[in-house]
Structure 1
Amino acid sequence: MSQLSTETPSFVMDSEKYSLQNLFMQAPAAIVILNGPDFIIEFANEQLYKSWSRNAEIIGKPLLEVLPELKDQAFPALLRKVMETGEPYYCPEEKAVLLKDGKPVNVYYDYVYKPILETGKKASGVIVMANDITEQVLARKRAEENEVALRLARDESERQKRLYEAITRSTPDLIYVFDLNYRFIYANEALLTMWGLTWEQSKGKKLLEVGYEPWHAEMHEREIDHVVATQKSIRGEVSFPHATLGKRIYDYIFVPVINEKGQVEAVAGTTRDITEIKLAEEALKQNEEKLEKLVTERTRELQRSNEDLQQFAHVASHDLKEPVRKIIIFGSRMQEEFNDDLPPRAKGFLSKIEVAANRMTAMIDGVLLYSSLNAKEKEMEGVDLNDIINHIKTDLELVISQKNAEINYKKLPTIFGSALLIYQLFYNLLNNSLKFARPGVTPVINLDAELEKDGKFARIILQDNGIGFSPAQAEMIFKTFTRLHSKDEYEGTGLGLALCKKIAERHNGKITASGKVNEGATFIITLPLNEKSS
């Protein structure tokens, strides 16, 4: 627009003014005339009202009163510069932030500021003509953003493709994709190596065309049809001749490739060479069969050996007990018939013979009991340890009374086992504690119990205040025929604690001991609480 001269107050004749205003009102650009240093709105056309979301009520008001949001933007300063210099200002694609419905909105304009010049090039106002290009700018920005997004998506797709190709190229597994007509549309290096073909030779080919036998190709085509129809994967094993390795065994799986419409557009497959695994399984199976046969033979031999041992133990104990029994009988008869005629030394000899023979009988009985523990299965049931200890106290009543001993126990648990064997175990322990009491000290035996962490086993703790033993002897005392003291000091066979250990182990439990010389001994017996744990 050319510079306007305003030599008369109306700067044009009324008719010309009307024509000009009519021209401005119909102009496609937004036009506003601002007067004076406060930029009073003297004129605005329809496009201006539409762009600012205002109406004719703005006429006669200062610009910043109508659009206070412009105060901190560049426009007021630019208007003042045009007023001061008298030079027009043009700016393409400038962003303005306007309030519409109380919310800030970005609006873009191509605009020009033209000064209204008075005499001497002094500007009295500014004509603003602006084209609202918001839609074009936003459309371009969206297109640019879409282009960036598309480029990023393309880059990501290429990256994923490179990553996928790197993985499928380096894996020993066979990876491939069929289209719905059974043609290969992808095959990795491992599969091409198995075929002995290149991708150019294989692309778009069907199974028969790359070397599959008719039955094999037909089987896979049926499986592809099944995957397409059901949209579910299918798995199998099959043999195939490798181009360089010969016949191999493969495990394969076909899975559907489903598009955004929920339709199967392809079938992907992965195949793994499991030849070595199959050979190992077959070797393991053969070894298991051999081992099972060997175990059966060894078990049969062990059973025969145990039966022979049991027979020998019974025969040996019977054959040994008979002459010992006669020694005892005839020794006793000599004492009865010739007691008055025997000198004191002879009587002493006979007494020692009787003691030795009785000890031999006890030892034979102990050996027989020890060897018979594994002879046959004992009846397993719930065994109340309180009842067991009560019975033992009754059987040992005489020695308890003689030694004025105390046997203390709290509520003991019911364990799962053989009542006969459990009785023998605790009888031996209590009898030992009474036998190895300290001279001049009242024997005190305490029994207590606690649960193991798993809740399936109980620990029974037996403590006495007897002569004890050194810690170095804690394991030795459970060996057969082991004695820590001479026969003259304490009678016994050396089998009692060995029997205790064997009985505990027979119940899947255990027994341990600790002690201090002249302070006492502690035995911890672990036994099952229920049938399942035993």
Structure 2
Amino acid sequence: MEFSIDGMVAINTENIVVAWNTAAARLLGASQDQAVGFMLFQVLPGIKNDSDLMIALQHSRSGLKSFLAPDPGLQHRRHVEIHIIPLQADGVFLGTMLLIHDVAHRLVKEQELQRVNAALEDRLRQLHLAGKEVAQLTHLATHDIRGPIRDIYTLMEGLMRQEASAMSNYGKASFRRIQSSLNRMSLLIDDIVALSQITIADVPERCVNLEELVAALAEQFNRKLQETGTLLTTGDLLPIRAHEKQLELLLQQLLRNMIHFSARSSPHIHIETKMMAPPRQLDGTERQGEVRLSITHNSTAFSDVEQVNSFQAEQPVNGPAIALTIAGKIMTLHKGALHLERIAGNKMIVHCFFPV
């Protein structure tokens, strides 16, 4: 008892101190000579204002143990936690043991951790605000760019209709190439806006009905699908736990680019999901499994890529790289993975792995 690193105090049935070790003298500020033989309330007058300790001492007389956490407002409990243990023999109450553990070092670490967490939360709020400001600025800037692009396209279309008879075939073809470039610029602006909107999601993940989401996107792209003769089909579509708006943005980007960048007539896009066994994690974390969302395009004009993790690739991916980057960032947000698989011919599959 004397050499214990914890303070140990024993009182009898009359609340008189009968044992008081060196650690108790250090933690409570009273020597053995000042404590042993005196009532506990005389040694530590502040105890009378500690209602929790008074109740615990009373409970010990009924054979009940108690635990008291540190209390910064009480001098005798500012940096210690106390275990109150009844002392009994053959069911007869003999007194109470107070086991006093010094937690000053732990409290210092907890306070330091609280300060670090508070600083991180403040930094996170600043990043959220900065992200929103960048997204707003990007939206405003791109909105101002869209106007001139639209005006140029409309003006050229009007010139071609009114001056068609006076223009050579080469001139007409050049105008069409310029209009095609303007369309590409418009798509690029859409991609930039979408990329600026990918941040840490404020809305928590939820189970998204993929069948309903894909049906809504098919309706949204119906005109483009008809104009390009693209066939959109689906297989099994399992629910996916995701940030709904981000998942919708991922599918929008991939579908729009697959429809736009087709290498031949009669393109076909197929969407399906499959439950996969959990992969082995290098960081030791465990997963119940993954839902693999696969989007197959039979006539892609994307550049040659095989099993490329585009958003982690050191070299930029050719073709509609921004759309792939957007998809990759969204998968990073979901702690998932994105892989591109090139099959014989122009067939390509985009695999998105969502952890369950």
- Taking structure 2 as the reference length, what is the TM-score of the superposition? 0.68
Find the counterpart in structure 1 of residue 146 from structure 2: 321
Give 1 or 2 for the bigger CA radius of gyration.
1
- SS of 1:272's partner is strand
Contact 1:438/1:518 (<8 A) preserved: no
In the alignment, the residues of structure 2 paired with residue 476 and residue 273 of structure 1 have an alpha-carbon distance, to the nearest angstrom, of: 50
Find the counterpart in structure 2 of residue 264 from structure 1: 93
Output the amino acid matched with 2:85.
Answer: V
Find the counterpart in structure 2 of residue 90 from structure 1: none
Find the counterpart in structure 2 of residue 514 from structure 1: 340
Q: Is 1:299 equivalent to 2:125 in the alignment?
A: yes
Find the counterpart in structure 1 of residue 10 from structure 2: 177
The offset of 1:275, in angstroms, is 3.1
Find the counterpart in structure 2 of residue 475 from structure 1: 310
Q: Is 1:254 equivalent to 2:90 in the alignment?
A: no
Taking structure 1 as reference, are residues 173 and 464 closer, same or farther at Cα in structure 2, changes over 3 Å only? same
Find the counterpart in structure 2 of residue 147 from structure 1: none
In the alignment, the residues of structure 1 paired with residue 137 and residue 311 of structure 2 have an alpha-carbon distance, to the nearest angstrom, of: 27
**Alignment equivalent of 2:37, drawn from 201, 205, 209:** 205
In the alignment, the residues of structure 2 paired with residue 443 and residue 299 of structure 1 have an alpha-carbon distance, to the nearest angstrom, of: 45
- SS of 1:170's partner is coil
Find the counterpart in structure 1 of residue 281 from structure 2: none
Output the amino acid matched with 1:264.
Answer: F
Output the amino acid matched with 2:8.
Answer: I
In the alignment, the residues of structure 2 paired with residue 496 and residue 317 of structure 1 have an alpha-carbon distance, to the nearest angstrom, of: 17
The offset of 1:384, in angstroms, is 1.7
The offset of 1:503, in angstroms, is 5.2
In the alignment, the residues of structure 2 paired with residue 383 and residue 228 of structure 1 have an alpha-carbon distance, to the nearest angstrom, of: 60
Percent identity between the two aligned chains: 14
Contact 1:438/1:466 (<8 A) preserved: yes
Contact 1:477/1:484 (<8 A) preserved: no
Find the counterpart in structure 2 of residue 525 from structure 1: 352
Contact 2:307/2:339 (<8 A) preserved: no
In the alignment, the residues of structure 2 paired with residue 276 and residue 376 of structure 1 have an alpha-carbon distance, to the nearest angstrom, of: 37
Contact 1:510/1:527 (<8 A) preserved: yes
Q: Is 1:450 equivalent to 2:279 in the alignment?
A: no
In the alignment, the residues of structure 1 paired with residue 250 and residue 57 of structure 2 have an alpha-carbon distance, to the nearest angstrom, of: 72
Taking structure 1 as reference, are residues 235 and 416 closer, same or farther at Cα in structure 2, changes over 3 Å only? closer
Contact 1:469/1:516 (<8 A) preserved: yes
- SS of 2:13's partner is coil
In the alignment, the residues of structure 1 paired with residue 297 and residue 111 of structure 2 have an alpha-carbon distance, to the nearest angstrom, of: 59
Find the counterpart in structure 2 of residue 366 from structure 1: 191
Output the amino acid matched with 1:233.
Answer: K
In the alignment, the residues of structure 2 paired with residue 425 and residue 316 of structure 1 have an alpha-carbon distance, to the nearest angstrom, of: 23
Find the counterpart in structure 2 of residue 37 from structure 1: none
1:23-74 Cα offsets, whole Å, 9 max, x none, are xxxxxxxxxxxxxxxxxxxxxxxxxxxxxxxxxxxxxxxxxxxxxxxxxxxx
Taking structure 1 as reference, are residues 457 and 518 closer, same or farther at Cα in structure 2, changes over 3 Å only? closer
The offset of 1:189, in angstroms, is 4.4
The offset of 1:267, in angstroms, is 2.3
Output the amino acid matched with 1:269.
Answer: L
Find the counterpart in structure 2 of residue 335 from structure 1: 160
Find the counterpart in structure 2 of residue 230 from structure 1: 62
- Taking structure 1 as the reference length, what is the TM-score of the superposition? 0.49
Can you give the 5+ residue segments of structure 1 that lack an aligned partner in the other structure?
1-167, 241-246, 486-492
Contact 1:483/1:494 (<8 A) preserved: yes
Find the counterpart in structure 2 of residue 190 from structure 1: 23
Taking structure 1 as reference, are residues 325 and 478 closer, same or farther at Cα in structure 2, changes over 3 Å only? farther
- Count residues with an aligned counterpart: 333
Contact 2:311/2:329 (<8 A) preserved: no
- SS of 2:236's partner is coil
Taking structure 1 as reference, are residues 231 and 342 closer, same or farther at Cα in structure 2, changes over 3 Å only? closer
- SS of 1:384's partner is helix
In the alignment, the residues of structure 1 paired with residue 246 and residue 59 of structure 2 have an alpha-carbon distance, to the nearest angstrom, of: 65
In the alignment, the residues of structure 2 paired with residue 432 and residue 290 of structure 1 have an alpha-carbon distance, to the nearest angstrom, of: 41
In the alignment, the residues of structure 1 paired with residue 317 and residue 59 of structure 2 have an alpha-carbon distance, to the nearest angstrom, of: 78
Flag the structure with more relative contact order, 1 or 2, with Cα contacts below 8 A and sequence separation at least 6: 2
Taking structure 1 as reference, are residues 232 and 459 closer, same or farther at Cα in structure 2, changes over 3 Å only? same
Taking structure 1 as reference, are residues 447 and 185 closer, same or farther at Cα in structure 2, changes over 3 Å only? same
